Amino acid sequence: MPGSRKAEKDDKAVITRLHQFLKDFSFDFKDEALLKQAFTHSSYVNEHRHESQEDYERLEFLGDAVLELMISQYLFKHFPEMSEGDMTKLRAAIVCETGLVQFATALSFDEKIFLGRGEEATGGRKRPALLADVFEAFIGALYLDQGLNEVNRLLESVVYPKISDGTFSHVMDYKSKLQETVQRLNLGELDYDVVMENGPVHHREFLSKVLLNGQTIGTGKGHSKKDSEQSAARAALKTIDD
């Protein structure tokens, strides 16, 4: 039937995109069924009962735990000045639905999901909760098939750079902390200056510096002026602590 032929063709296209994704990251998946499961929504399983296919929900559960572990380790190592409470707050912002959707979108995971026809017709491929779930499910599958080192390699490419460039700095008010520290120690007067703007309008990158009594004590990048200033303030706090 024409409909079944189209569905089969669509599935093959998804598999091709999955294999290209693995090739781009030099992942050598051993268990093809596990890989497909990570991208299979329950609506697809319901429409393909004869295939004995599992959906991604169990892998999502595992991936959530693996992701929290790896993010916690990264924050512990790279933010030695950060308190336990602040690390918890920052980690929560990174692994919340909004953060996970950013990562899934960066990897074009919306194009790699096996969906049922009904879910497809109602725009499920772009649904934030679904994209967040698939990202966690893939992390779970990657961990099972390749181990933590390969999970870390993916995060080094997709997640960690967004942490370091200030994407999640809105949850951490470093500027206020810096101001309080400078006032408490009676160090002088703070000022911020955007020294450079790069990139296209839709993906602008700013470089800011924070000055104490006219001397630069920290620089930082971000995709908005505010984020770059927060990043600069974080660097300045580290300078003062040192």
Please identify every residue annotated as catalytic. Answer: 64, 136
DSSP string of 129-181? HHHHHHHHHHHHHHHHHH-HHHHHHHHHHHTHHHHHTTTTGGGS-HHHHHHHH
CA distances from 75 to 19, 85, 150, 154, 160 (A): 31, 12, 18, 16, 9
Helix, strand, or coil (residue 192) = strand
Name which of 150, 146, 136 is nearest 104 in CA terms: 136
> Under 8 Å CB-to-CB from 199, ≥6 apart: which residues?
205
